[in-house]
Amino acid sequence: MENLPIIAIVVPCYNEEQALPLSVPVLLGVLDRMAAEKLASPESYILLCNDGSRDRTWAVIEQLHSADRRVRGLSLAHNRGHQYVLLAGLMQAHTRCDAAISIDADLQDDPEAIISMVKEFRRGREIVYGVRSSRASDTRFKRTTAHAFYSFQRKMGLDTVYDHADYRLMSDRALGYLSGYGEQNLFLRGIVPQLGLDTCVVKYERNPRVAGESKYPLSKMLAFSIDGITSFSARPMRWIFLTGVALLVIALLVSVYVFVSYFCSDHISAGWASIMLSIWILGSLILIAIGIVGEYIGKIFIEVKHRPRYAIRDLLWD
């Protein structure tokens, strides 16, 4: 078979019983096309990773596995979140494929880009990022918040790929390097660029969801962004220090003003407004600073316990 590469398509799933019967046949069709064009081995497969879903997702995975053995399944013992179930799937595929491609079950990320990714892999690329060509289909609010998300991460010192989520190809060597990152606070979009291997970008158009609803509302996106920043950058701590220095300078200037007023003025107003404003502003800054420090302390608390990041309950691999 000309040593055709075995490709694993890793699909994290949470409450996707409606989407999987629609998306899996599309992905199988992509595998068939790559085998026919001699881009990938017929032994390539799809790994559906169930993140403790509350619906019939695992039952649907079992049915799909019975119908086609190229569909394999993995189920975590409980819900751990997108990044953890994706990592579990990638580590399960490690050493059992030549390259793994992660894609969400809703197929908003165009599955046709998989073929372009595999072509780049066969040219020697070890990591291929799927990047949206535009955000014209997004609402104005979604587009604005997404751009703010990436821009803020860059300003915080994170090396992330703009408009890239978790749609990417990773060679088995890249997966081996990824397995060496043992942190509990997973942010794969920040870890993968640190691997330092030969990379490139494949652009695609975003599609509507095949079924179901988004699992990433604004609240989860904000929490995800905070996790990414606090996992990779200490810059917010430095900002606290610089803010403190700036407030100290202001305090010295105010002290000069107070002394001059005290010795040179016959009448000094009570200064109620300035005192109240100072209390509220400084109080807010102190609470924000405590909150930021608390985020880091919480991350340290989680890391030092060295608990397993996930537990696999069921595995369909034969």
**How much is the pLDDT for 157?**
65
pLDDT of residue 1 exceeding 50: no
DSSP symbol at 202: E
The confidence score (pLDDT) of residue 18 equals 92
CA angle 17, 192, 215 (to 5 degrees): 25
Residue labelled with tokens 């819900």: 79
Q: Name the pLDDT band for 3 (thresholds 50, 70, 90).
A: confident
> Does one domain contain both 119 and 71?
yes
**184, β-bridge pairs:** none
Extract the tokens encoding 55.
Answer: 């619906």
Task: Tell me: pLDDT of 86 over 70.
Answer: yes
Place of tokens 């404003």: 277
Between 242 and 67, name the one with better pLDDT.
67
**High-pLDDT (> 70) share of the chain, %:** 71
Domain that holds residue 72: 7-215+308-316
E strand or H helix that includes residue 276: helix 272-304
Has residue 220 been placed in a domain?
A: no
Indicate whether 162 and 248 sit together in one domain: no
Give the distance, in angstroms, between the CA of residue 268 and the centroid of all CA atoms in the same chain.
57
Is it the case that residue 177 has pLDDT exceeding 80?
yes
User: Same structural domain for residues 240 and 146?
Assistant: no
Whether 274 and 187 share a structural domain: no
Question: How far is 142 from 85, CA to CA, in rounded Å?
Answer: 25
How large is the average pLDDT for residues 29-36? 96
Assign residue 168 the CATH number of its domain: 3.90.550.10
Task: Kindly state whether residues 46 and 66 are assigned to the same domain.
Answer: yes
The strands making up 127-132's β-sheet, listed across from edge to edge, are: 199-204, 127-132, 164-171, 99-102, 7-13, 45-50, 71-76, 312-316
The two beta strands, 127-132 and 7-13, are unpaired
Instruction: Say which residue, 188 or 86, is predicted with more confidence.
Output: 86
Residues 92-99 have a mean pLDDT of 96
Query: What are the pLDDT digits (tens) for 157-173?
Result: 666 777 788 899 999 99
Give yes or no: residues 155 and 275 share one domain.
no
Q: How confident is the model at residue 136 (pLDDT cuts 50, 70, 90)?
A: low
pLDDT tens digits, one per residue of 244-295: 777 766 766 766 666 666 567 655 565 644 665 576 667 667 777 777 777 7
* Count of structural domains within the chain: 2
Task: Check whether residue 63 and residue 183 sit in a common domain.
Answer: yes
pLDDT, one tens digit per residue, over 192-207 is 888 889 999 999 988 7
Beta strands, E only, 35-171: 45-50, 71-76, 99-102, 127-132, 164-171
pLDDT grade for 224, boundaries at 50, 70 and 90:
low
What is the C-alpha R_g of the chain? Answer: 25
Q: Could you please report the per-residue DSSP string of 20-40?
A: HHHHHHHHHHHHHHHHHTTSS
Examine residue 222 and state whether it is found in any structural domain, yes or no: no
Percent of the chain with pLDDT over 90: 45
**pLDDT: which is higher, 243 or 8:** 8
Task: For residue 226, tell me if it sits in a domain.
Answer: no
Q: What are phi and psi of 65, to 5 degrees?
A: -65, -40
**Token pair of 202 as six digits:** 């494949």
State the Cα–Cα distance between residues 101 and 93, nearest whole angstrom: 10
Structure tokens at 117: 């990714």
Instruction: With respect to residue 230, please indicate whether it lies within any of the assigned structural domains.
Output: no
> What pLDDT does 93 receive?
96
Q: Do residues 227 and 141 touch, judged by C-beta distance below 8 A?
A: no
Residue with tokens 């918040």, as numbered in its chain: 145
Which positions ≥6 away from 9 have C-beta within 8 Å?
27, 30, 31, 44, 45, 46, 47, 100, 101, 103, 114
- Range scoring the smallest mean pLDDT among 116-120, 125-129, 303-307: 303-307
**Is 203 within a domain?**
yes
